[in-house]
Amino acid sequence: MCSGAHRSAPRLHGSPTLCREARKISGPHPLGRVDSLGDAGRGAGRRARSDGALGVATLANIRGRDLGDPLFAPVWSEIDGLGLPVFVHPTIPPGGRDMRLDEFSLATPVGFMVDTTLAFARLILSGFFDRYPNAKLIAPHGGGTLPYLSGRLDRSHETIPACRSAIKAPPSAYLRRMFYDSVVYEPRALAMCVAAGGADNVLYGTDFPHNVGDMKGILALVRGLPADQARKVAGDNAKRIFKI
């Protein structure tokens, strides 16, 4: 599942080992061969953990497939059993060409946000977090637009049967079971992310080495939070989640 993510996502301490294992899962095995993927996935997480890996990195869609695709169920079961954190970095969303995301380089400011939002909205509404209660998924860039859409998701859950058919609680409750990074560049956006996800679930992020990365600026945003929240986001949450 990590194939490609190592090129675009920030690397967590220890994660390259797990990425190597994950590339063995998705690389040699055609995506249509679920049994092959399952066989390859079993034990990969434990082998990586024994090598010192602390987390997983994946793209928000794998060649257009949703992360909740049954193809990936054996991998998620392995991750859930270990309680591993998973950094879900966005890529070009399906249909990106039709969205003309190459125009004005919109993939970075808009396309990535769309990919993250769609990926996690589908995971929430499909019951993913009920099936894998121990998985710790990190939605970068403040969770895309999910904090802003929290109320709309809950209202849709109340009024549209399809939005409540597979989950046990309103979508906003699942937003507080996810994790986020602080790469939002704007204090009101960070405050909204903290409000939606909870101060215990937001991690300091920088977008380094991407050209939009701003380590000092985002750290200043984090330090602008109330002191107890700033301490958690600046480091305490990461230490807890990654057990370091």
Query: What pLDDT is stored for residue 51 in this prediction?
Result: 78
Mean pLDDT of the chain: 85
Q: Phi then psi for 62, rounded to 5 degrees?
A: -110, 100
Query: What pLDDT is stored for residue 165 in this prediction?
Result: 96
Q: pLDDT class for 211, splitting at 50, 70, 90?
A: confident
Q: pLDDT class for 231, splitting at 50, 70, 90?
A: very high
Q: pLDDT class for 50, splitting at 50, 70, 90?
A: confident
pLDDT in tens, 103-116: 999 999 999 999 99
pLDDT in tens, 141-186: 999 999 999 999 999 999 999 999 999 999 999 999 999 999 999 9
Predicted structure pTM score: 0.84
Query: What pLDDT is stored for residue 240 in this prediction?
Result: 96
Query: What pLDDT is stored for residue 18 in this prediction?
Result: 37
Q: Give yes or no for a contact between 234 and 204, defined as CB atoms under 8 angstroms apart.
A: yes
Mean pLDDT of 75-100: 93
Q: pLDDT class for 4, splitting at 50, 70, 90?
A: very low
Above 50 in pLDDT, residue 76?
Answer: yes
Q: How far apart are CA 105 and CA 111, in angstroms?
A: 9
Query: What pLDDT is stored for residue 52 in this prediction?
Result: 81
Q: For domain 5-242, say whether CATH 3.40.50.150 is its number.
A: no
For residue 209, give the 3-state DSSP assignment.
coil
Above 70 in pLDDT, residue 190?
Answer: yes
Query: What pLDDT is stored for residue 46 in this prediction?
Result: 74
Query: What pLDDT is stored for residue 38 in this prediction?
Result: 55
pLDDT in tens, 14-41: 333 334 443 333 443 333 344 445 555 6
Q: How far apart are CA 22 and CA 3, in angstroms?
A: 7
Q: How far apart are CA 72 and CA 67, in angstroms?
A: 7
Q: Give yes or no for a contact between 90 and 140, defined as CB atoms under 8 angstroms apart.
A: yes
